[in-house]
Structure 1
Amino acid sequence: MSLSDTAIRKVKPTEKSQRLFDGGGLYLEVSPAGGKWWRLKYRYGGKEKRLSLGTYPDTGLADARSKRDTARRLLAGGTDPAEHRKAEKAAGEDRAANSLEVVAREWHAKQATKWVKDHADRTMLRLENDIFPWLGKRPIADVTAKELLGAVSRIADRGAVESAHRALQTCGQVFRYAIATGRAERNPATDLRGALPPVKQAHLAAITDPEKVGGLLRAMDAYSGSFVTKCALRLAPLVFVRPGELRHAEWAEINLAKAEWSIPAEKMKMREPHLVPLSSQAVAILTELHALTGRGRYVFPSARSPKRPMSNNAVLSALRRMGFDKNEMSGHGFRAMARTILDETLHFRPDYIEHQLAHAVRDPNGRAYNRTAHLPERRKMMQAWADYLDALCANAGTVIAFKRTA
């Protein structure tokens, strides 16, 4: 006779296991402890086998019968239900192992060894905040262009169009990695060219007029905030490195006797070591600061912990407190200031300037210059630049006609 829910609920455990048959090989096994398991008895390849179909009451009678019928259809087609279940489980685990998030984190771990830490952190944060919540659990091979567009469009819709483009670019790199490692067959990001609103190009604010530069220098000299921040402000125009390179400066990289700052490749955007000749003015600032922070790791340590570098907003916030708004001057602005005036006013060779900016400068044969290329000429340029800034700072209201020696 077939089972009923009433009969199943009323059955009492005995000293030995009981088997209550329903038909078609389905039965309920009741243990002495009172547990109830659905089993399916069947034959495959001439052997008697059993398949677990769940426990009662989590799996009810109707569900158990449905699972039995599915298994019997597989048998009729020549498939062992137990082997089919193993294959499904393996496929599910494989899909989980190849989810977009798993592949993206694997890709990021490999790329991060080549990146500056700040860039690596920003890239992962972009994925964690804007991509993983929507697509992270999806098998990467199944993600469609429509789904990817939906994720990056959410970023653009909140006004962060540039971030949306960067997220799409990052996803494109993840998909290319998935294809290369056999986890996907195509890159849906390539189908989305032109799908996002264009990015409005905005130049980083910079003061390049010599008279206004003089006013900025005088304001920095009069800055009354943290001494460490003041030193960072005063050093920034003298070395015109990127803001992240400045705040991560370590005393181990600086040789005051040789007047050199040697920045390792892992801290540089182009992943090449960089040498910054230090003017006498830069050496004086660093010598004074060394008395305060020289026992620690960082030249410009955080106010909260000497084990961390200063905040990436420290110099920017100081500029704002001095009255220079975001449309007038930025942390990157010192680089544009130096590039413009060294070229247009002091007339130094453009390749000297570009090399000191740590841009990708090539020789006539297309090879990248090493970090010591044109070092004597760059030393002279950096000293001339520092002297020119001193002259601008000292001569309020006067544009300096500066002549450099050949």
Structure 2
Amino acid sequence: MGKLTDNAIKGAFARARREQRMVRLADGGWLTLLVLPNGTARWQQRYRYGGKERTVSYGSFAEVSLAEARTRAEKARALLRDGIDPVEQRRADKAEKRRIVENTFGAAAQQWFDFNLPRWKPATSEKVRQYLDKDLLPPLRLRPLANITTQELDDVMKRIEKRGAHNVAKKSRQWCKSIFRYGIAKGMTKDNPADLLGDIADAMPESTNYAHLTFEELPELLRALDRYEGSPLTKGAIWLALWTANRPGITRTLRWSELDLDDALWTIEKGRDGMKRGYAHLTPLPTQAITMLRDLRKISGTFEHVFIGRNDPRQPMSDAAVAKALATMGFKGRQTAHGFRHLVSTALNERGYQADWVERQLAHGDPDKIRGTYNKAAYLEPRRQMMQQWADLLESIQNSGGNVMPLRKESGKRR
């Protein structure tokens, strides 16, 4: 039991001021209170460890009460009984706290990204970087790894799922799990709160066809596109989707280095991010697309991507930009970015073009497995004619004020 009382402590303060010297009060168990003439006091505990006398401090009397000081002193005595030096333990505890504070999710994610970058294909690294910067780092960057809970991570995933990006949430769960595994291996944390995220994830919605207009409804869209006063880059991405029927992820991340405007060709290398199974693909560009791209070069030609991000031109346009533009034009729930592929495919098939040409234009199947005389060019020349005729048809609808054009098969399409 300690010997100090409130009265004894008050008397020590008065004595130290009166005698202008330090007064030492013992509480038992090696705990003492050092009272100074200036009216301050601090807790101290002396002990012997390894044959040497050592001292540990517990802070000022103003901040640490007598009861709390006794509790700390008892913990120190318990450590000594276990053969542990209290001073070394405090240093270890401080180092652990410092490690926890310094080892944030942002630091771990960057180290994990840099470690895996040489192992990833460019397509993978670009997708990981995009998801990190958009969804994971903003809420988690400064959070210590050791303090992040499964519930906190699940809240982040729920925000992603809320906007309908269930595949993004699925990938984010996988990457969070991998980041924490890396952190554990590097001694940055001890637990992986992402391990159980899959057990509490929302069920993936049943796959449905992407919303798209019919050919008869297309004039309405073209009229709205003419009136659209938003970014010319977003407008250009919509037109390019209509002119080429490429996948939305490929279109919005189009790089200037992939374009040969003189040859009217867009070359997508094997392994490109956004291409299903990483297939290579050649996309012929109609003259309308060439004209538009030459105009857009004045806006984004000094950057890597054609359709640059609104907030960061070093990044491609966000995957929500086209959806937002379509909603602004009044087509929310009626037309999606991916739905342009359905619209174009249906229209081309109904106009009598060869199914093989349409399928290759949509990049369905591995081009390396195409046999016959069109193997190398992947039906490039007939597709070039087909897509130019399609672009001309769109232009004629546009120039006619968006009037519905008769849908008819044109002669000479099947060969």
Same fold (TM over 0.5): yes
> Residues 43 and 272 from structure 1, CA distance in 2 versus in 1: closer, same or farther, beyond 3 angstroms?
farther
Q: Does 1:57 align with 2:62?
A: yes
1:299-378 residue pairs with structure 2 within 5 A?
Answer: 299=306, 315-316=322-323, 319-320=326-327, 323=330, 325-342=331-348, 345-349=352-356, 353=359, 356-357=361-362, 361=366, 363-364=368-369, 374-375=376-377, 377-378=379-380
**Aligned Cα RMSD in Å?**
4.7
Do the aligned partners of 1:262 and 1:276 also contact (CA within 8 Å) in 2? yes
Aligned to 1:400: 408
Instruction: State the one-letter code of the partner of 1:7.
Output: G
Q: Does 1:85 align with 2:87?
A: no
TM-fit CA distance, 1:382? 3.3
TM-fit CA distance, 1:261? 3.1
1:3-402 residue pairs with structure 2 within 5 A?
Answer: 4-12=8-16, 17-30=22-35, 35-96=40-101, 103-104=108-109, 106-107=111-112, 115=124, 120-128=129-137, 132=140, 136-137=143-144, 139=146, 143=149, 147=151, 151=155, 155=159, 160=162, 162-163=164-165, 166-167=168-169, 169-179=171-181, 182=185, 189=195, 192-193=198-199, 196-207=202-213, 209-213=214-218, 215=219, 219=223, 222-223=226-227, 225=229, 228=232, 231-243=236-248, 245-247=250-252, 249=254, 253-262=258-267, 268-270=273-275, 275-287=282-294, 289=295, 293=299, 297=303, 299=306, 315-316=322-323, 319-320=326-327, 323=330, 325-342=331-348, 345-349=352-356, 353=359, 356-357=361-362, 361=366, 363-364=368-369, 374-375=376-377, 377-391=379-393, 394=396, 396-402=404-410
TM-score normalized by the length of structure 2: 0.70
Deviates most, 61-70 or 334-343: 334-343
Do the aligned partners of 1:149 and 1:192 also contact (CA within 8 Å) in 2? no
TM-fit CA distance, 1:40? 0.9
Do the aligned partners of 2:286 and 2:391 also contact (CA within 8 Å) in 1? no
- Percent identity between matched residues is 26
Question: Equivalents in 1 of 2:306, 2:272: separation in Å?
Answer: 15
SS in 2 for 1:349: helix
> Residues 34 and 300 from structure 1, CA distance in 2 versus in 1: closer, same or farther, beyond 3 angstroms?
same
> Residues 124 and 29 from structure 1, CA distance in 2 versus in 1: closer, same or farther, beyond 3 angstroms?
same
> Residues 249 and 25 from structure 1, CA distance in 2 versus in 1: closer, same or farther, beyond 3 angstroms?
same
TM-fit CA distance, 1:282? 2.5
SS in 2 for 1:72: helix
TM-fit CA distance, 1:31? 5.0
Structure 1 residues 283-326: Cα deviation after superposition (integer angstroms, max 9, x where no partner): 24434x26964875475678999988777666555545655x22
TM-score normalized by the length of structure 1: 0.72
Question: Equivalents in 2 of 1:227, 1:126: separation in Å?
Answer: 24
Instruction: State the one-letter code of the partner of 2:406.
Output: T
> Residues 360 and 222 from structure 1, CA distance in 2 versus in 1: closer, same or farther, beyond 3 angstroms?
same
Q: How many residues align structurally? A: 388
TM-fit CA distance, 1:50? 1.0
Do the aligned partners of 1:391 and 1:400 also contact (CA within 8 Å) in 2? no
Which segments of 5 or more consecutive residues in structure 2 lack a partner in the other structure? 398-403
Question: Equivalents in 1 of 2:41, 2:237: separation in Å?
Answer: 73
Question: Equivalents in 2 of 1:191, 1:374: separation in Å?
Answer: 46
Aligned to 1:369: none
Do the aligned partners of 2:269 and 2:281 also contact (CA within 8 Å) in 1? yes
TM-fit CA distance, 1:252? 5.5
Instruction: State the one-letter code of the partner of 2:177.
Output: F
Instruction: State the one-letter code of the partner of 2:45.
Output: L
SS in 1 for 2:16: coil
Do the aligned partners of 2:270 and 2:280 also contact (CA within 8 Å) in 1? yes
Structure 1 residues 35-86: Cα deviation after superposition (integer angstroms, max 9, x where no partner): 4221111111211111112112111222222222221222233322222223
> Residues 56 and 320 from structure 1, CA distance in 2 versus in 1: closer, same or farther, beyond 3 angstroms?
closer
Question: Equivalents in 1 of 2:159, 2:198: separation in Å?
Answer: 15
TM-fit CA distance, 1:381? 0.8
